[in-house]
């Protein structure tokens, strides 16, 4: 209850006055199925945070993200998908529609969260943190690599595919 009140109060402040979290692990969000999830659960893991959309030219990256998750989850990688409708209105669906789409078309098993804003006046706290030092996403499927300590290591634009040698090398380095 106290956390919900703090979140409400924080979101009622103008964007410029909102505190930027010091670590990914300080943030609590709602999963796509509406459950509260503290990102502290990912302490000691490497996180790839991605703003996703179901009707984008980059949507096939879901397959590559799922492959990355399958290949690296036992070594400590977790992928967090954040649906967002801010780029070309390419994520118009409900939570149930998004979940069904991801399961049916790409077999997604990595965690997905409620639709949120990644930029602008209503930017979600998780994106205030991710973008503080690495800039806002320019489009869907922008990726932020977060180290085991909860700090952003690197950002990758949408055009960097999950299968890319560049992204895989960064993940390998972070997992060591």
**Given CA atoms 145, 50, 88, 124 in this order, what sign does their dihedral have?**
negative
Q: The tokens 């990102």 sit on which residue?
A: 39
**Given CA atoms 95, 32, 70, 144 in this order, what sign does their dihedral have?**
positive
Q: Which residues are catalytic?
A: 56
Whole-angstrom Cα Rg for the chain: 15
The span from the CA of 109 to the CA of 118, in Å, is 22
How far does the chain reach from its first CA to its final CA, in angstroms?
Answer: 38
């Amino acid at each position: 209850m106290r956390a919900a009140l703090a979140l409400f109060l924080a979101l009622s402040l103008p964007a410029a006055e909102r505190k930027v979290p010091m670590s990914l692990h300080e943030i609590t969000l709602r999963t796509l199925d509406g459950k509260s999830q503290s990102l502290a659960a990912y302490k000691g893991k490497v996180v790839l945070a991605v703003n996703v959309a179901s009707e984008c030219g980059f949507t096939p990256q879901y397959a590559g993200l799922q492959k990355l998750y399958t290949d690296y989850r036992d070594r400590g990688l977790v992928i967090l998908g954040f649906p967002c409708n801010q780029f070309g209105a390419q994520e118009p669906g409900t939570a149930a529609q998004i979940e069904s789409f991801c399961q049916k078309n790409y077999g997604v098993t990595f965690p997905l969260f409620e639709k949120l804003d990644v930029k602008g006046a209503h930017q979600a706290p998780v994106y205030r943190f991710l973008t503080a030092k690495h800039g806002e996403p320019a489009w869907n499927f922008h990726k932020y690599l977060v180290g085991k300590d909860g700090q952003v290591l690197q950002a990758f634009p949408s055009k960097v595919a999950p299968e890319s040698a560049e992204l895989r090398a960064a993940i390998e380095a972070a997992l060591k």
